A and B are shown apart, each in its own frame.
Chain A
Amino acid sequence: MKNVEKNILIKILLHLIFLCIPTLVATAFALKGMNEYYTVVNNNWFAQTCFFFAGIFISCILFNFRLRFLPITAILAAVLIIAQTIIANAELSEFNTFFYLVQFRVFSVLFVTGWICGWGFARFKNFAIVFAAIIVVIAVFITVSEMEFSFAGILKTFLPIILFAFYIIYMSAAMRNITTFSRSRFLIFLRNLLGILALFFLLMFAIGLLMKSTFTDIEKTWDKKSDKNEFDGLLERNQDSTYKMKDKMRPNPTFGKGKDNPQPMFVAYINNYLDYAQTIPSPLYFVSHYLTDFDTFTETFEKDTIIPYDDLFKPLPAEIDLYFSKSDTAIMNTALRDSLTKIVDVDVYNINLSPAEFVAPLTSFFCQPVAVEDNYKTLFKSAYRVKSVVSDLNGAYFVYPSRDPMLLNYQQIRYDILASVNDFDDLPEIFYNYYTSLPDNDFIDSLKNLTKQITSNSETVVEKIIAIRDYFFAVDEFGAPVFKYTENPGIPGIPSASKLAHFLFESHKGYCAHFAGATLFMLRACGIPARLTVGFATVDRSDKNKGWYWFYEDQAHAWVQIYFPKFGWIDFDTTIGNDDMEESPQPDGTPPMQINKANFAGVGKIISLDTINNLIDFALQKMTLNDFEYIFETPENIVLDMTSAKILRDTVQLKFSELSDNDSGLSLSFDENMKTLQPTPNLSQNEVLSMLPTPVPIDEFRIDVDKNKNENDKKPDTQNTKSQNENVNILEICLIIIAVLLALMLAAPYIIFRYYKYKSKLKTKNANIFYVYKAAMFLLNQLYNERRNLTPLRFAADVADKKYKTDFEKFIIIYLKFKYSDKEILTDEKEFANNFYNDFEKKIKKNHKKTEIIKRFLNIKQTIKFYTNNYGTTKRSY
């Protein structure tokens, strides 16, 4: 009795050391991770681990003694429920009650989980397998939904989980086998454990080494396809790996921007300098579009369909012919009505932006696609010129505190000018209401109170704005900033709570969406018209190439624009400096040459070719002459001089002789003489045509590549499907290999059986009686599933013959005689042995159902037993 108790104590000790403590460590890590991510569990991982430990510890001890699960767990449940009711009814303030309830629930869930784990380890035979499976499934789920697919990430999250799962399964199986405890056994057990762990690491290491390249490939393809979270980042990646600004933005727990290697998006030259110091370039933010609609429920900023006094100019550069332009004079005129405005030229060289994307500084009204210099064609996909009405007051330096005296001066000047704006009375009511509307909920109420506090000392509009700016840029008494930029601000304690409220009142951590969203509502709370803008922040990294700016993926940004009557929209960015972004390691590249300005551009069709004089009869459909555009209802015939023309189809240069009739295309002239031809708006089309020289000197002729274009469009698709196919192929091969292995494993017993049977029928000189013996023993091994460790003779006599009424004993005696005797076996014995097997198999199979035979022949475990079986017996027999 004492011995039994000792055994139980040792068993408990082993369970605690080898099962519970590793589980506890794993749980502690998981809880720590969860604490960083979910605020429900709120930075208390140590206490939570203790709860879990209490659960697993108590139940492991209780259930190792033979206590019943149900009654004890029922008592536990009752205790928990009573405790909860007490807490719920306790005389506490409502918030405290809620807080304690949440805490209590976290505690109960952890305790009960620990409890069930302890019970499972102590009692439930296959618990470890179930437990490990659940853990792995959860890990896979989290990885797929939350994580970036990267080799290192997989290694970091999966390896420990798999190791743990593996360990738990192995360990609990090993535990079950320990019935008595002795020192030597324990040492063997430890040795096995260490050996298996070493083997595991070796295996993983080898797999890691071998598969790394494959993994990175998969990583890449995965990366391309992944559109996991539509609110991750501000940019979305298209199938052809170009980028586009998203139409929606939400202050999310993760931004998903923090990539190691941000892609360059575009390069721009802004011909804008400070008006009083023309040497200092004034960078401008690039607007993509405005998110003027707000979904209160999901806290999502969205594009509105109808916007009063819409001033967004959004052409598609790809749809405009080269050197032809699209402009919106209404926008230009409205914008130009404001004082201190000028028209600024901007050149945008697209690298990775989608052709459907158009970005330009506020307020753009003109877009003209231009050709990219030949030398830069590989780097830049396309280029366009933009004209924007820019206020002298606008600029990226609007808010950032700067020590540059010139900029300080500029900011002061601007402040002084804007101080004159005191009211918005003159604004149209629809406009003012649209841009100052606020949702109606608790968060906005508290935000209004906060704004009132912040701006209590401010009189003018601009003072209020500066007060709001200062609120976000404030530092605490130690000089550390109150608000911090982070791309993973986490989610608030109550999942449904406002993320903006969480940002503004609790965590003070967020990224641009949080800052811009909060600023927008604070401004509107002051009655200042403002709107949320997404686009690209301009970073002036070096003054090597003045006016040139490079834009990377991580510069995608959201900020606020404020409307000042008489001065128009002004960019206002309160996102606190993200050090990473400003110190972006991405260098500015070498900017391309200034854009070739074509004096003449004509779209039309070749009517006939004069190969001797290099002349073309050209049916002109559309023409632009020094920025004046003309469209001809009926094509006008002109003669083009192709002597010095470069003929291009897509990017391939052709010879003149390769041109043919009916080729339609675009002819360009950069000729200086053409520059003198200055049409005026009053001239009719015919008058302008007559101004053209005959023949018109052409410098470049681009053949339309519509047909080729279609082919090109298809290409990426086929490539895509190809890479998909490759993936499918890899998957297929893997599946086939697994299936074959599985089939082989299942078929192995039967194959081995057939092999022995085949060998037993061969009349070779070498003993085939051995194979008769093997086949018979194997058949019995598969069909007679009881554990046996008898010698063949005893097994035949005591088990097989009794159950199946066979003559197996007789055969075994003959076999043993053959095996050990110095004499030949007798003729009749040989005859018996030769005819023995068929009859034997029939008799045995008669005793089992067909389905049972098939089932048992699929049992590889039994086959393994055949080769590991001990034929002696450990029992004493004398």
Chain B
Amino acid sequence: MEQQNEAIEKSEQQSQTASKTQLLIDNIETVIKGKRSKIEMIVSVLLARGHILLEDNPGTGKTLLARTLAQSISANDTRSLQFKRIQFTPDLLPMDLIGSHIFDDAKKDFVFKKGPLFCNVLLADEINRASPKVQSALLESMAENQISIGDVTYKLQNLFFAIATQNPIETEGTYPLPEAQLDRFFMKLSLDYVDDETEADIYRNYLQIDENLQTVKQVLDLPTVLELQAEVDKIYVHDEIILAIRNIVTGTRNDTNILLPCSTRSGIIFLKCLKAFAFVNNRTYVIEDDIKTLAHAVLHHRIIFKTNDARKKSLAHLVDAEITRLARLRIYDKPYY
């Protein structure tokens, strides 16, 4: 009985924290219509302490989404997150990103002027337009959460969430990201166009949406986000789910149509994403549907396929096989009565 009470208490506490994420998602949805599942995934990445790459045509709401997300958790007080946006261009230099030492007249000394990278939420627009030098500077900071300039290493913020966007069609004057760098992104998402109904809805209410954008409320603050991130780590993952992740990852290694299979790191990232996604969906455990929903977004961009056919199907087949296995699975390790 006591145990049950405890369980109830715990689940209440869980739902309280979870409702905060719901609040965040709802808040974003006031501006971004008809993309709840995508928003959930982006929030998942945020909570999994990762970074995300949005790849889509212009005008599908990438920047809007990133801005809204940032605004929802940042304001101008110190407790809030800082949001920065950089438009990547070919002539952009790493300095413009990281910052540089400038001479301070008053102190008679070189002072490090922090670049836009020193923020909590970074929107890196059209990342593939910048030179590889700039790209790698960004990606290093994403991976290490720190920046080295000369002999000084500057730590980034506790919460550093990069949202990069890139344009798939325009290839002229772009520097496509190599797979090794794509690996740094937890997810690569395509926002897609909204469905016809929502499209019309957006036209009808564009004034309202504009107004919403101007007055996006701050629903979370920095400590809360960090707290939520810590909460995500507590999500329970059943061993069968772990095995399923393992099977998918090793499956890519045994597939003859795959040139570069998934790494162990990508497996870990997948696991983190699954936990965060379960949390966002108000659960304390991961289910098979989570794997199906996230597998493509998390794993697909890390794999190099030999054929176009394999690009379309290989991963999906592996995931399907695992989902089928899990759906039929009968778990014996706990009693029902």
Contact = CB atoms under 8 A, between A and B. Distances in A.
Contacts of B316: 872-876
B285 interface: yes
Contact of A766 (B10, B241, B297, B336): B336
Interface of A: 182, 763-770, 789, 791-794, 816-824, 826-827, 830, 869-878
A870 B337 CA distance: 31
Residue in A818, A822, A870, A878 whose Cβ sees the most chain B Cβ within 10 Å: A878
Given A770-B330, A793-B289, A817-B285, A878 B189 contact: yes
Contacts of B309: 182
Interface string B311-337: 011001101111110111111101111
B331 A872 contact: no
A827 B8 CA distance: 10
Given A822-B285, A878-B300, 16 more contacts: A766-B336, A816-B287, A818-B334, A818-B336, A819-B287, A820-B236, A823-B285, A824-B3, A826-B7, A869-B324, A871-B326, A872-B316, A872-B324, A874-B317, A877-B292, A878-B189
Contacts of B285: 817, 820-823
B198 interface: no
**Which residue of A769, A793, A823, A827 has the most chain B CB atoms within 10 A of its CB atom?**
A823
Interface in B241-257: 241
B328 to A, nearest CB: 8
24 contacts: A764-B337, A765-B336, A767-B330, A767-B331, A768-B336, A789-B320, A791-B289, A791-B323, A793-B288, A820-B286, A823-B11, A824-B4, A826-B7, A830-B336, A870-B320, A871-B326, A872-B316, A872-B319, A872-B324, A874-B317, A874-B320, A877-B296, A878-B190, A878-B300
Contacts of B7: 823-824, 826
Nearest to B288: A791
Nearest to B326: A871
Contacts of B323: 791, 871-872
A827 B3 CA distance: 12
- Sort chain B's interface into a size bin: 35 or more
A877 B238 contact: no
Nearest to A822: B236
Nearest to B41: A878
A869 B321 CA distance: 10
Interface string B73-110: 00000000000000000000000000000000000000
Interface string B166-210: 000000000000000000000001100000000000000000000
Nearest to B237: A820
Contacts of B320: 789, 870-874
A820 B241 contact: yes
B227 interface: no
Interface string B265-308: 00000000000000000011111110011001100100000000
Contacts of A819: 238, 287, 329, 331
Interface centre among B8, B309, B329, B334 (most CB of A within 10 A): B334
B240 interface: yes
Interface of B: 3-4, 7-8, 10-11, 189-190, 236, 238, 240-241, 283-289, 292-293, 296-297, 300, 309, 312-313, 316-317, 319-324, 326-332, 334-337
Contacts of A823: 7, 10-11, 236, 284-285
For the complex of A and B, list the 7 residue pairs with the smallest distance between their C-beta atoms, beginning with the closest.
A872-B320, A821-B285, A872-B323, A878-B296, A871-B327, A822-B236, A767-B336
Contacts of A816: 287-289
A756 to B, nearest CB: 12
A769 B289 CA distance: 19
Contact of A791 (B292, B297, B336): B292
Nearest to B316: A874
Contacts of B334: 767, 818
A870 B324 contact: yes
Given A763-B337, A820-B238, A826 B284 contact: no
A792 B10 CA distance: 27
Contacts of A821: 236, 238, 283-285
Contacts of B190: 878
Given A817-B285, A871-B327, A765 B296 contact: no
B286 A792 contact: no
Contacts of B8: 826
Nearest to B278: A820
Given A767-B332, A767-B336, A827 B300 contact: no
A789 B3 CA distance: 39
Contacts of A877: 292-293, 296
A581 to B, nearest CB: 69
Contacts of A875: 316
Contacts of A768: 336-337
A145 B90 CA distance: 89
A791 B320 CA distance: 9
B257 to A, nearest CB: 9
A285 B100 CA distance: 131
Contacts of A818: 334, 336
B275 to A, nearest CB: 12
Given A816-B288, A821-B285, A872-B320, A766 B296 contact: no
A791 B288 CA distance: 8
Contacts of A793: 287-289
Contacts of B332: 766-767
A769 B334 CA distance: 12
A766 B284 contact: no
Nearest to B332: A766
